[in-house]
Amino acid sequence: MQSTDSLRELNAKLLAEIAKLRKENAEIPELREKLLRFAEVEAENAKLRQIIEENARRDSENAELKSRVGELEARLALLEQSSAVDGMALSFGQTQNGEEAIPVVMVPTVDVPDSVIDQLSNE
């Protein structure tokens, strides 16, 4: 009888172990799915971090360019103001101190080869 009781006890333990293992096996696909979702989220986070870094770099570059544009606009305003004053002096034919204005013409420099200069000098 003792052998039957011990076998029944062993059978009950084995049935409990089987039930536990079945429950764990049922959880494995859920855990795999969660792990897959976690990996996808991590990949998306990596992409977003890269985008944030690129945006920060572009924001910095934009700030530098806006600053440069502001400086160039200020220089242009000064040049336009200076040009307007020069234009007024020339249009009246006199400078601010009463002297006659001499128009200034800006001519770009041109590189002329020495052979051309020699040829023109010999003519």
Walk along the chain (123 residues) and give the pLDDT tens digit of each residue. 689 999 999 999 999 999 999 988 888 888 899 999 999 999 999 999 999 999 999 999 999 999 999 999 999 988 888 876 665 544 545 555 656 656 665 656 767 778 777 777 776
In the chain, where are the structural domains located? 2-122
- DSSP-assigned letters across all residues of the chain: -HHHHHHHHHHHHHHHHHHHHHHHHHHHHHHHHHHHHHHHHHHHHHHHHHHHHHHHHHHHHHHHHHHHHHHHHHHHHHHHHHHHHHHHHHHHTB-TTSPBP------------HHHHHHHHH-
* CB of 93 closer than 8 Å to CB of 100: yes
pTM for the model stands at 0.44
